[in-house]
Structure 1
Amino acid sequence: MIELAVFGAGRIGYVHALNVAAHPRVKLKYIVDPVAGAHRDELAGKTGAAIAEAETVFGDPDIAGVIIASSTNTHADLLLKAARTRKAVFCEKPISLDFPTVADVTAQVEASGIPCMLGFQRRYDTSFRALYERIASGASGPLEQLTMSSRDPSPPPRSYVETSGGMFRDSTIHDMDMARFLLNEAIATVYAVGACLISEEIGDAGDIDSLMVTLTTASGRMAQITACRRGPMGYDQRLEALCAKEVLAIENQPQSMLVVNTPEGRHAAPPENYFIERFRQAYRDEMNAFIALIENGEAPLADIRDGYEAQRLVEAAIVSMNTGQAVRFGTSWVPDGEN
Structure 2
Amino acid sequence: MTIRIAVFGAGRIGAVHARNAAALPGVEVARLVDPGTDATALAREIGAQVGTAAGTLADAELDGIIIASPTDSHAELLLAAAERGLAVFCEKPVSLDFPTVVRVTQAVEAAGIPCMIGFQRRYDPNFRAVRERIASGVSGPLEQLLMQTRDPAPPPRAYVARSGGMLRDQAIHDFDQARYMLGEEIASVHAVGGALFDEGIAAEDDIDSLMVVMVSASGRMVQMANNRRSPLGYDQRLEAHCAREVLFVENRPATDIRIAGPEGARTAPPMDYFISRFAEAYRAEMAAFAALIREGTPPLATIRDGLEAQRLAEAARVSIRTGRPVALTPGWMP
Shorter-chain TM-score category?
Answer: over 0.9
Larger displacement relative to structure 2 (53-62 or 243-252) = 53-62
2:222 counterpart letter in structure 1: A
Q: Distance in 2 between matches of 1:290 and 1:330?
A: 32
Q: Distance in 1 between matches of 2:216 and 2:10?
A: 39
Q: What is the Cα deviation at residue 61 of structure 1?
A: 1.5
Q: What is the Cα deviation at residue 166 of structure 1?
A: 1.5
Normalising by structure 1, report the TM-score. Answer: 0.97
For the pair 1:266 / 2:265, whether they are aligned, the reply is yes
2:193 counterpart letter in structure 1: G
Q: 1:320 to 1:36 in 2, by over 3 A?
A: closer
Conserved 8 A contact 2:252-2:277: yes
Q: Corresponding residue for 2:5?
A: 4
Q: Corresponding residue for 1:245?
A: 244
1:162 counterpart letter in structure 2: A
Conserved 8 A contact 1:187-1:330: no
- Residue by residue over 1:275-307, the C-alpha shift from the partner in whole angstroms, topping out at 9 and shown as x without a partner, is 000000000001000000000100000010000
- Residue by residue over 1:205-230, the C-alpha shift from the partner in whole angstroms, topping out at 9 and shown as x without a partner, is 21110001111012211000100000
Q: What is the Cα deviation at residue 263 of structure 1?
A: 2.8
Q: Distance in 1 between matches of 2:200 and 2:209?
A: 14
Conserved 8 A contact 1:68-1:75: yes
1:9 counterpart letter in structure 2: A
Q: Corresponding residue for 1:114?
A: 113
Q: Secondary structure in 1 aligned to 2:299?
A: coil
Conserved 8 A contact 2:70-2:162: no
Q: Corresponding residue for 1:305?
A: 304
Q: What is the Cα deviation at residue 82 of structure 1?
A: 0.2
- Residue by residue over 1:245-268, the C-alpha shift from the partner in whole angstroms, topping out at 9 and shown as x without a partner, is 001111101111111222321121
1:34 counterpart letter in structure 2: P
Conserved 8 A contact 2:234-2:270: yes
Q: Secondary structure in 2 aligned to 1:227?
A: strand
Q: Corresponding residue for 1:214?
A: 213
Could you tell me the percent identity over the aligned residues? 59
Q: Corresponding residue for 2:71?
A: 72
Q: What is the Cα deviation at residue 58 of structure 1?
A: 1.4
Q: What is the Cα deviation at residue 334 of structure 1?
A: 1.0
- 1:1-339 equivalent positions in 2, closer than 5 A: 1-37=2-38, 40-335=39-334
Q: Distance in 1 between matches of 2:331 and 2:306?
A: 15
Gaps of 5+ in 2: none
Q: Distance in 1 between matches of 2:23 and 2:319?
A: 44
Q: Secondary structure in 1 aligned to 2:32?
A: strand
Gaps of 5+ in 1: none
Conserved 8 A contact 1:147-1:239: yes
Conserved 8 A contact 2:152-2:232: yes
Q: Distance in 2 between matches of 1:138 and 1:164?
A: 38
Q: Secondary structure in 1 aligned to 2:63?
A: strand
Q: Distance in 2 between matches of 1:163 and 1:44?
A: 25
Q: Distance in 2 between matches of 1:268 and 1:42?
A: 37
Q: Secondary structure in 2 aligned to 1:78?
A: helix
Q: What is the Cα deviation at residue 330 of structure 1?
A: 2.5
Q: Distance in 2 between matches of 1:127 and 1:166?
A: 27
Q: What is the Cα deviation at residue 198 of structure 1?
A: 1.6
Larger displacement relative to structure 2 (301-310 or 52-61) = 52-61
1:168 counterpart letter in structure 2: L
Q: Distance in 2 between matches of 1:141 and 1:166?
A: 36
Conserved 8 A contact 2:19-2:46: yes
Alignment RMSD (CA, Å): 0.8
Q: What is the Cα deviation at residue 36 of structure 1?
A: 3.7
Conserved 8 A contact 1:135-1:143: yes
Q: Secondary structure in 1 aligned to 2:95?
A: coil
